[in-house]
Amino acid sequence: MTSVKTEKPLWKKLLLPVCGGALAGFAGSFAFLRLTGEGSAWQLDASREIAGLVGIVFLLMASAVLAGVLRPSAGARFLNVEDAGELREQRTQLIYSGVGTMAFGGVLLALALTGEGLPLGNDIGAGIALCLIVVGAVLSIFSRKHSDELQTALSKEAVGTSFSLLFLFGGGWAILAHADQLSAPAPLDWLTMFAVSLLIGAFWQAGRRGMLTRGPN
């Protein structure tokens, strides 16, 4: 007698991770805006505010991955993996990747809070951001050493997509600014655009391969 494994409908697979991610993102963004919005001690301009929110997204994503790796049985329920065994097999690579992603989110958040009258002075903020950049870059190299062929190909294509998006939107903004149609993008805007384009590129390439809907089971 053979048993037939029934696969969950797609909406049931995505219900927990989507709702959990949305709630975590809302809570993190709400807390950040409460601390830095109008009427607060640290009022940020638009560039800093957007960079901080993007940084929080990166920190939340990395935290979810690291939590799932540390508790594979629970992580398999909300991460996009086949089962807990996959998390155990990819433990080293996911830890490097998760900490590296957290470092890059920390760069944006630190720079968002750097400046006169803000929690971090210019020297301290720049030092923290540079250190985190180095940590993220080193961990990215370590992560690639533990990646399989599919992950390596996905990473390269995501970077290619990211470059195209950055060239389109950042380049378009620069062209309009040069023609005095818009204000020129600030340095922090370029870092934020890079982060967002990389995130979109990763999701786009993963979606093309059907990797966004294969788990959890």
Same domain, 180 and 143: no
In terms of residue numbers, what domain contains 101? 10-147
pLDDT at position 126 = 94
Cα–Cα nearest to 54, from 206, 191, 174, 156: 191
Identify the pLDDT of residue 214. 54
User: Could you tell me if 90 and 101 lie in one domain?
Assistant: yes
Indicate whether 217 belongs to any domain. no
Q: Can you point out the beta strands (E) in the chain? A: none
**Residue 50, token pair as written in the block:** 């957007």
What is the pLDDT averaged over residues 68-90? 73
* 25 and 36 co-located in one domain: yes
Tell me: do 84 and 60 sit in the same domain.
Answer: yes
| Same domain, yes or no: 103 and 195 | no
Give residue 33's pLDDT: 67
Contact 212, 204 (CB under 8 A): no
Last residue of a domain, one of 132, 147, 162: 147
Domain assignment of residue 141, yes or no: yes
**pLDDT > 70: what percent of the chain?**
74
Residue 136 sits in the same domain as residue 183: no
The residue length of the chain stands at 217
Q: Is 183 helix (H, G, I), strand (E, B) or coil?
A: coil
Q: Is residue 216 part of a domain?
A: no
Asked if 137 and 48 sit in the same domain, the reply is yes
What would the pLDDT profile of 151-208 be if each residue is shown by its tens digit? 788 888 988 999 999 999 999 999 999 999 999 999 999 999 999 999 999 888 877 8
Highest mean pLDDT among 76-85, 122-131, 144-153: 122-131
Does residue 119 have a pLDDT over 90? no
- Residue 85 belongs to some domain of the structure: yes
Regarding whether 175 and 100 lie in a shared domain, the answer is no
| Residue 214 domain-assigned (yes or no) | no
Is residue 25 located within the same domain as residue 132?
yes
- Rounded CA separation 17/13 (Å): 8
Least confident of 25-29, 133-137, 172-176, 198-202: 25-29
128 and 34 together in one domain: yes
Per-residue pLDDT for 144 more than 70?
A: yes
Domain count, the chain: 2
On whether both 65 and 119 belong to a single domain, the answer is yes
**pLDDT at residue 15 is higher than 70:** no
Q: How confident is the model at residue 213, as a pLDDT?
A: 63
pLDDT for the residue 106 = 94
Average pLDDT over residues 48-64: 90
- Residue 3 included in any domain: no
